[in-house]
A and B are shown apart, each in its own frame.
Chain A
């Protein structure tokens, strides 16, 4: 019983770490506390259960430690979603492997409830593993950004899920270790295929939802693994991670006004839309994907469209005037800023304008970037003061009293069509109401639609100045000319 009390104590320390994680000031302490709890858990388990062969164990533990530690120290914040996706996958891998070995040994599993848990651990773990590898591949740009849709995709998904359930039912009555092993292996293959089919249909701007969902999967797999071996720490920690992932999934879905099922299944609709566009069109927000293609076509569209105000003046000069005269400025960064690696320039521009006595804030849409909170860490890395950052609900009323909305690499999240039209894939999505500002500057690569494929009427607005091209260069020039 004392053993269980110690376990419970460790869980409480872990919880304390999570509690401290709710404020920016104490988050670092919270992280260290959680690390301490996990360290204690490892020591306690090793004290209770002598393990062997020690050299073998140390070698593998060191392998993981060195690889994880060195990657964590080197990776850039642009690469962080891929790293997190990889970690979701490794969590799933460890869970399904442990569940499988426990199942194959048979003897250690006390009753059928443990067996069910082990089987579920295999299914969730293997699906999370393979699904996360697909996600990590997309996020690190090894795979195309647009979703891949197989023929009869939904049917395949349903078939694989049914097959997994069938295998589970088959595994239950047989207690022969060999049969269990064969069924367990088959289950790994089927669940692995399920994970691939599930996540390959999600791409581009929908990645934050997928990555959160897989995060939940890795937690749930650990919890099932814990249930199968009767370890309270695994159960509690796994459940917490599972809940955390589900909360983030929910937050992301709400930010896009879509349902999870719709994103996991309906990514197809967006994908087809993107495919109907001209072939050269990169389907990412602000189309910043093909930076090298940056064509200096600035000036064509806005001039033909824009009012008689300043036809002969080039957009850059107009933009510079707007920046010079604006007192209240809101900067809206999007994933395109990260792709153009313009964070540094944007941060320095904000600093310079603040230094000139202007009121400068950043408006961040919850799904800007490739994972929840991605834009915040990108700006933090570029040394933007977090006191300047505003969330959607707080900043939206501010746009109407703002002189200038400076959009850098964002498209869908500022697309007024989301609120003005009812027939687009982004209709109903809460947007940053940049179009309500007195003037708007858009520093995007091109004036093509974002990932959703919906034309952005903001680009045609007479009060908008389009500065097309590489955002790093554009913002850098603005910075330079401001003097």
Chain B
């Protein structure tokens, strides 16, 4: 019971902290944000790996393999594409007197 309670606390804390930080991400970064969070949701790769920490039948192994490949796609693809996109954002010349960094 304590375990469940702790997990719910972790859930609520992460959601709360996520809300206050992510709310402040500027619109300019919304597409990279989404591809980075796609990579983060690839965290389920841990769940896929854990499936193989106990012996399982062939059916379970194939399913686990599919989950592993999908999650790895997200982690690698997500971070790579986010990095590539952020590399496009350049700021060459100053824009006279205007606040542009927000």
* Chain B associates with chain A: yes
Seen from chain A, the residues whose Cβ lies within 8 Å of a Cβ on chain B are: 11, 14-15, 17-19, 21-25, 27-28, 30-32, 34-35, 38, 41-42, 45-46, 49-53, 56-57, 59-65, 67-69, 71-73, 75, 77, 80, 83-84, 87-88, 90-91, 93-95, 97-98, 100-102, 104-105, 108, 110-111, 113, 211-212, 215, 218-219, 221-223, 225-227, 229-245, 247-248, 251, 354, 364, 366, 371-374, 376-377, 380-381, 383, 385-389, 391
Identify which of B7, B64, B87 contacts A101 (C-beta below 8 A).
B64
Contact in complex: A11, B33 (CB < 8 Å) = no
Contact in complex: A98, B15 (CB < 8 Å) = no
Contact in complex: A377, B92 (CB < 8 Å) = no
Contact in complex: A242, B15 (CB < 8 Å) = yes
Contact in complex: A22, B25 (CB < 8 Å) = yes
Contact in complex: B41, A237 (CB < 8 Å) = yes
Contact in complex: A227, B7 (CB < 8 Å) = yes
27 A–B contacts, CB within 8 A, in A order: A18-B22, A27-B32, A28-B86, A38-B39, A38-B43, A45-B49, A49-B49, A53-B61, A57-B49, A64-B70, A68-B75, A72-B80, A87-B77, A94-B42, A95-B44, A101-B63, A105-B54, A219-B40, A222-B41, A236-B11, A240-B37, A243-B18, A243-B19, A244-B22, A372-B34, A376-B31, A387-B91
Contact in complex: A101, B60 (CB < 8 Å) = yes
List of B residues within 8 angstroms of A374 by Cβ: 31
Of residues A41, A94, A230, A239, which shows the largest number of chain B Cβ atoms within 10 Å of its Cβ?
A: A94
Describe A's contact surface by its main secondary structure.
Answer: helix
Nearest-CB residue, chain B, relative to A383: B90
CB distance from A5 to the nearest CB of B (A): 13
Identify which of B24, B56, B64 contacts A22 (C-beta below 8 A).
B24
Contact in complex: A22, B26 (CB < 8 Å) = yes
Known: A51-B49, A222-B41, A376-B28. A239 touches B15 (CB 8 A): yes
